[in-house]
Chain A
Amino acid sequence: MTRYLLTRLWQSAITLILASLVVFVGVRQLPGDPALAMAGEEASPERLAEIRTQLGLDEPIATQYVTFVGNMLRGDFGASTRTGTPVTDLIATTLPVTLWLAGYALIVAIIVGILLGVIAERFRGRWPEWVANGFALIGLSVPNFWLGILAILYLAVTVPIFPASGYVPIGEDPLQGLYHLTLPAIILGTSLAAVIMRQTRASMIETMKTDYVRTARAKGLGRSRVLFRYGLRNSLIVVVTIVGLQLGGLISGAVVTERIFALPGFGKLTLDAVFTRDYPVIQAVVLIITVGYIVINLAVDLLYSVINPRIRVGGSN
Chain B
Amino acid sequence: MLRDADTLPLLAIRDLEVRFGDNAEPVLHRVSLDVRRGERVAIVGQSGSGKSTIIGAIFGLLPGDGHISHGSIRLGANALSPEGVVDEDLATAGEMRMRRIRGARIGLVPQDPSSNLNPSMTVGAQIADALAAHGVRGRGTIARRVVDLMTEAGIPEAGRRSGQFPHEFSGGMRQRVLIAIALAREPELLIADEPTSALDVTVQRQILDHLQTLVDARGTSLLFITHDLGVAADRTDRIIVMLDGRIVEVGTPAQILREPQHEYTRRLVAAAPTVAATVRARESAPVRDGDGGISDSAPILVIENLVKEFTIRGQRGSVLRAVDDVSFSVERRTTTAIVGESGSGKTTVARIILGLEAATSGTALVDGHSITASRGARRHDLRRRVQPVFQDPYASLDPTFSIERLIDEPLRIFRVGDTASRRSRVGELLDQVALPRSIAQRRPNELSGGQRQRVAIARALALDPELLICDEAVSALDVLVQDQILELLMDLQSRLGLSYLFITHDLAVVRQIANNVVVMRKGSVVENGTVDDVFLAPTSEYTRELLGAIPGAAFAR
Query: Could you tell me which A residues sit within 8 Å of B by CB distance?
Result: 209-212, 214-223, 225, 229-230, 233-234, 237, 307-310, 313-317
Closest Cβ neighbor of B184 among chain A residues:
A219
Question: A214-B110, A309-B167 in contact; A315/B313 too (CB < 8 A)?
Answer: yes
Check B115 against A220 for contact (C-beta < 8 Å): no
Contacts of B184 in A (CB 8 A): 219
Contacts of B61 in A (CB 8 A): 214, 217-218
Interface residue? B117 (CB, 8 A): yes
Check A234 against B99 for contact (C-beta < 8 Å): no
Q: Tell which of A209, A216, A218 has the most Cβ of chain B within 10 Å.
A: A218
Describe A's contact surface by its main secondary structure.
Answer: helix
B99, B107, B121, B168: the one contacting A233 at CB < 8 Å is B121
Check B118 against A230 for contact (C-beta < 8 Å): yes
Closest Cβ of chain B to A232, distance in Å, is 10
A interface footprint on B46-81 (CB within 8 Å = 1, 0 otherwise): 000000000000010101000000000000000000
Closest Cβ of chain B to A248, distance in Å, is 27
Contacts of A211 in B (CB 8 A): 110-112, 115-116
8 A-B residue pairs with Cβ-Cβ distance under 8 Å, sorted by A, are A215-B116, A217-B102, A218-B59, A220-B100, A220-B133, A222-B133, A223-B95, A229-B118
Question: A217-B61, A220-B104, A309-B167 in contact; A212/B133 too (CB < 8 A)?
Answer: no
Interface residue? B120 (CB, 8 A): yes
Question: A229-B129, A308-B119, A310-B119 in contact; A215/B110 too (CB < 8 A)?
Answer: yes
Number of interface residues of B (CB under 8 A): 36
Interface residue? B388 (CB, 8 A): no
Contacts of A317 in B (CB 8 A): 167-168
A interface footprint on B114-144 (CB within 8 Å = 1, 0 otherwise): 0111111100001001100110000000000
Check B117 against A220 for contact (C-beta < 8 Å): no
Contacts of A307 in B (CB 8 A): 120
Check B130 against A219 for contact (C-beta < 8 Å): yes
Interface residue? B181 (CB, 8 A): yes
Per the bound structure, the CA–CA distance linking A307 and B63 in Å amounts to 27
Check A220 against B134 for contact (C-beta < 8 Å): yes
Q: Tell which of B59, B118, B165, B167 has the most Cβ of chain A within 10 Å.
A: B118
Interface residue? B253 (CB, 8 A): no
Interface residue? B108 (CB, 8 A): yes
Closest Cβ of chain B to A315, distance in Å, is 7
B104, B108, B119, B167: the one contacting A215 at CB < 8 Å is B108
Check B178 against A218 for contact (C-beta < 8 Å): no
Contacts of B82 in A (CB 8 A): none
Closest Cβ neighbor of B313 among chain A residues:
A314
A219, A225, A313, A316: the one contacting B103 at CB < 8 Å is A219
Check B116 against A220 for contact (C-beta < 8 Å): no
Closest Cβ neighbor of B63 among chain A residues:
A209
Shortest Cβ-Cβ A-B pairs, 8 listed: A220-B103, A218-B108, A219-B130, A220-B102, A220-B133, A211-B115, A219-B103, A309-B165
Closest Cβ of chain A to B163, distance in Å, is 11
Contacts of B126 in A (CB 8 A): 216
A219, A230, A237, A313: the one contacting B102 at CB < 8 Å is A219
Per the bound structure, the CA–CA distance linking A211 and B104 in Å amounts to 19
A interface footprint on B184-217 (CB within 8 Å = 1, 0 otherwise): 1100000000000000000000000000000000
Per the bound structure, the CA–CA distance linking A222 and B103 in Å amounts to 12
Closest Cβ of chain B to A80, distance in Å, is 49
Query: Could you tell me which B residues sit within 8 Å of A by CB distance?
Result: 59, 61, 63, 95, 99-104, 107-108, 110-112, 115-121, 126, 129-130, 133-134, 165, 167-168, 178, 181, 184-185, 313-314
Per the bound structure, the CA–CA distance linking A237 and B119 in Å amounts to 11
Per the bound structure, the CA–CA distance linking A314 and B181 in Å amounts to 30
Contacts of B108 in A (CB 8 A): 215, 218
Contacts of B99 in A (CB 8 A): 220-222
Per the bound structure, the CA–CA distance linking A223 and B96 in Å amounts to 10
Question: A211-B110, A221-B133 in contact; A229/B103 too (CB < 8 A)?
Answer: no
Contacts of B101 in A (CB 8 A): 220
Contacts of B134 in A (CB 8 A): 220
Closest Cβ of chain A to B488, distance in Å, is 32
Closest Cβ of chain A to B90, distance in Å, is 13
Closest Cβ neighbor of A308 among chain B residues:
B120
Per the bound structure, the CA–CA distance linking A183 and B117 in Å amounts to 43
Check A313 against B314 for contact (C-beta < 8 Å): yes
Per the bound structure, the CA–CA distance linking A132 and B150 in Å amounts to 43
Contacts of A215 in B (CB 8 A): 108, 110, 116-117, 178, 181
Q: Tell which of B99, B134, B178 has the most Cβ of chain A within 10 Å.
A: B99
Contacts of A221 in B (CB 8 A): 99, 103, 129-130, 133
Q: Tell which of B101, B120, B126, B314 has the most Cβ of chain A within 10 Å.
A: B120
Closest Cβ of chain A to B94, distance in Å, is 13
Check A210 against B115 for contact (C-beta < 8 Å): yes
Contacts of B115 in A (CB 8 A): 210-212
Closest Cβ of chain B to A311, distance in Å, is 10
Contacts of B100 in A (CB 8 A): 220
Q: Tell which of A210, A215, A225, A315 has the most Cβ of chain B within 10 Å.
A: A215
Per the bound structure, the CA–CA distance linking A316 and B130 in Å amounts to 28
Question: A233-B120, A314-B314 in contact; A218/B165 too (CB < 8 A)?
Answer: no
Per the bound structure, the CA–CA distance linking A96 and B413 in Å amounts to 59
Check A309 against B119 for contact (C-beta < 8 Å): yes
Check B129 against A234 for contact (C-beta < 8 Å): no
Per the bound structure, the CA–CA distance linking A185 and B120 in Å amounts to 32
Closest Cβ of chain B to A250, distance in Å, is 27
Closest Cβ of chain B to A136, distance in Å, is 24
Contacts of A316 in B (CB 8 A): 313-314
Contacts of A313 in B (CB 8 A): 314
Closest Cβ neighbor of A315 among chain B residues:
B313
Per the bound structure, the CA–CA distance linking A230 and B313 in Å amounts to 30
Per the bound structure, the CA–CA distance linking A209 and B126 in Å amounts to 18
Check A216 against B118 for contact (C-beta < 8 Å): yes
B59, B104, B167: the one contacting A310 at CB < 8 Å is B167
Per the bound structure, the CA–CA distance linking A308 and B103 in Å amounts to 27
Closest Cβ of chain A to B531, distance in Å, is 35
A214, A216, A233, A315: the one contacting B129 at CB < 8 Å is A216
Per the bound structure, the CA–CA distance linking A237 and B61 in Å amounts to 26
Contacts of B104 in A (CB 8 A): 220
Check A212 against B165 for contact (C-beta < 8 Å): no
Closest Cβ neighbor of A317 among chain B residues:
B167
Check B117 against A212 for contact (C-beta < 8 Å): yes
Check B165 against A310 for contact (C-beta < 8 Å): yes
Closest Cβ of chain B to A151, distance in Å, is 38
Per the bound structure, the CA–CA distance linking A221 and B100 in Å amounts to 9
Check A219 against B181 for contact (C-beta < 8 Å): yes
Closest Cβ of chain B to A222, distance in Å, is 6
Per the bound structure, the CA–CA distance linking A230 and B116 in Å amounts to 11
Per the bound structure, the CA–CA distance linking A215 and B117 in Å amounts to 8
Per the bound structure, the CA–CA distance linking A315 and B99 in Å amounts to 37
Per the bound structure, the CA–CA distance linking A30 and B253 in Å amounts to 86
Closest Cβ neighbor of B122 among chain A residues:
A309
Closest Cβ of chain B to A313, distance in Å, is 7
Per the bound structure, the CA–CA distance linking A255 and B61 in Å amounts to 50
Closest Cβ of chain A to B510, distance in Å, is 30
Closest Cβ neighbor of B165 among chain A residues:
A309
Closest Cβ neighbor of B98 among chain A residues:
A220
Closest Cβ neighbor of A309 among chain B residues:
B165
Per the bound structure, the CA–CA distance linking A310 and B20 in Å amounts to 36
Contacts of A309 in B (CB 8 A): 119-120, 165, 167
Per the bound structure, the CA–CA distance linking A310 and B120 in Å amounts to 8
Check A218 against B102 for contact (C-beta < 8 Å): yes
Contacts of B116 in A (CB 8 A): 211-212, 214-215
Contacts of B313 in A (CB 8 A): 314-316
Per the bound structure, the CA–CA distance linking A223 and B101 in Å amounts to 14
Per the bound structure, the CA–CA distance linking A308 and B133 in Å amounts to 24
